[in-house]
Every structure is written in structure tokens, then in C-alpha cells.
Structure 1
Amino acid sequence: MNEADNLPHVLPAIPAWVDEVILVDGHSTDGTVAVAYGLLPGIRVIPQPGRGKGNALRAGFAAATGDIVVMIDADGSTDPGEIGTFVRHLRAGADFVKGSRFLQGAGTDDISRIRGLGNACITWAVRTLFGGRYSDLCYGYNAFWRSVLPELDLDSDGFEIETLMGIRALRAGLRVVEVHSFEHPRLYGTSNLHAARDGWRIFKVILRERFFRRAPRRAPARSAHAQ
């Protein structure tokens, strides 16, 4: 939403071998759509049906036609040049690849102290309640085979969708790989993230998934993906 100033730094950096680029437009008023078409005439623009980051992502996932889906932000914080790393791990056998700012070789120039503390608490809570070895759960640079979307069964509209994806991938028995990623500061504009409000929404999702949602049946092996 309203990322016209950022798109010239993001869209041209997407590797040429990417088959399909989808932009979900959250009712922009600054010419975002026109800028997108001017930079990448073949881009697919999907009007967002509701509000919130989760709602936008679910609309984009539903519209995607490729075998692999990679989600990145339009504000310049996620580097399109890293897409190849995510795809390589999927082609090597992973079902879901999660970017992490806290692995060796990773980093961030964007996260504040309070957001960093909140992310650490959320990651600890998920590891305690669900197991796994996640190091970063509030980062929106992820990739997965489109065929696993039914197992993720995403139903959140806000920023909590990033943590929800990690939890449901783990509970579904998907083969999850974390890769190092560097988060840059937003280039222009202001983020819609509110640390206290969205942090509380994330913790509610964690509690709901642990205590009120039945565990899904374990996912079958996907040996074909490793070929």
C-alpha cells in the first residue's frame, strides 16, 4: 500500500528467471499500480479484498500459479537478490524455507530494540510450545511449494500471519529450513506495524494454535521435490 517510491528499488532487482511477479495492491493512492506497470509491464496486480498484511498475502497466494511461491516486502527491506537461496533449498528437498535475521551471516538494520525483544519472546514461546529450532519468527521473507498451502490453511489478516505460517508448517510436519537473510531499513514511507498491538495479536495466535486448534494430520513425504 502506497509504495510507489520504493518499487523502483525493488522490482528491477527481482531476478530475470522469476516466472511471475504478483503485486497485491492495498488500495494505494500514490500511483503504486502505475509505477509497477511502468517498471514491469508483465506484472500481475491483484486488488486486495480486505485489509491487513495477512489478508494481502493470502490474496497473493491464491492468485499465484507457479510451483514455488516467494513472499517479499515492497518497502525495500527484503533483498530480491536472495530469492535464489530460498529456491535452491526448496529444490533440494525443503517444503518451507524461512528467512532469519539471526543466523550466522544474517543481520538487520531495521529492527528496534523493543521489536527485537518481542521477536525473541515470540520465538522462545513457539520453540517451547511446539518444538522446532526457529531463530526468527517475525520476519516476512519466506518461500514454499504452492502445493503445501492447504496444509498451512492460513486464516489470519494481520502481521501475525508470519508467525502463523511458521507454526503451521511445523505442526504439519513439513520439512522446514531456515536461511540467513539481511533486513534493510524501509527506504521510503512509514510501516503500518505497531509493536504492542501486533505483538499481542501474535501471542494470541500462538495460544490459539497450541490450546484450541487440533493438530493436523502429519504431512506425507514429498520426495518428488528433491528431484
Structure 2
Amino acid sequence: MKSFAASAILASFILSANCRVVDLSLRDDSYPANFKPNFNSEFSVVIQKPLSTVFPVLGTSQGLCKHILLESIASDCNAGATDSVAVSGNLEDAFVRTAAAAPDGQGLPRTQFSFIETIKIIPGLSFLDVKVHLSGTYTSDVTRKVLLYETSSDKSVVVKKVRRFEEADGGASTKVSESINGQVFILEQPITQSQARTAHQAQMNLYHTLFE
């Protein structure tokens, strides 16, 4: 399953192999001030487990790498330091990846993480593989049952994902809804947008496997 970063990098080989782009991941001052989303996706699934079971796995750092490694091209996921961050207003409206840590005991829990996506240009020719290094933060609002996932890559892809949880089937199941907004280099946008929804739905349709 191709992720959004993978789609964008593959597109860059097709559309802009010789173009120079700005690497957003290396410029903290560029995010979120210059974050102008140009692709998006929304999807939801119902998991046949109660909210008390689902939220810790998909809404906190407890299941961070399990969720990421559902992508077949993802590897080397590492959860890093955990701190807290002050949020003014609702978490889903915030940008906290580059925000300063809050004093101990204040704010919402935030976990740093990184992983690698390997894009095979030609199967069997590993020397042509493209490795995309991604880093981000995972921030949880346990009270409101909202998760904010923010990443940037060394290939100029920035993604903000909001995950919401609510009880379904009288509490026997959990509805998980996600909205994604991302930014890629303009020449990569058409192919990224066309593939984003397919990739997003494919990944979310595997969420249930984390509870089997």
C-alpha cells in the first residue's frame, strides 16, 4: 500500500525529476506558517471493539508504530521522546509538531517518532529503491478522544491527520474517523491527490487487524 509520501516521491520521478523543491522538514519556521494543503482525504471505519479498547491503540503512543507499520512500505519505526504541549483551543485545529514543550504536568501528551518508507521503482532492482525518511509527532487529547498526527519528510511532504473516536452500536463498537490535509510540491499534487484517498482507505481498513 502506497502512502501519501510514497505517492508524492514516485510522482516526482515522473513529473519533476530535475526540479529543485523546498525541503519543509528542515525549516521549522516554515511550518505551519507556510503550510498550504493541496491534497486531502476523509474516511471512517467501525471496529468491533469498545472505545476503551480501541482508543489506547489508535489514539495514544501505545500503538503508534503498530499503526504506522500497517503500511507495507514502512519500516524502522521508532517512538522517541514524550513530552507535553500546550494547546489553545481544540487539538484538531492546532499545529504542535514544532511547538515548544509545556512545563511538566501541563498540556497534552506528545510523542516524537520517525520511520522510513521504501519505494521500489523497479521490483528486483533494490539499488533503485528510494528511501523516504519521515518524522513527526503524535498528540493525544484523552478527554475528548482526539488524536493529532503530524509528519514531514525529507522529500518535502507535510501531512496533518486528525483522528476522532466515538462509540457505536451502543458501546459495543467504535467508529474511527480521519481527516487528512497534506502539502506536496505542486507538480506532484495531481497524482498524490488521486492516490491519497485510495491509500488512506486501504490503511484504515486494516485497523481492525490490530485487535485480532
Q: TM-score, normalised by structure 2?
A: 0.28
Specify which structure has the higher proportion of strand. Answer: 2
Q: TM-score, normalised by structure 1?
A: 0.27
Give the structure with the larger helix fraction: 1
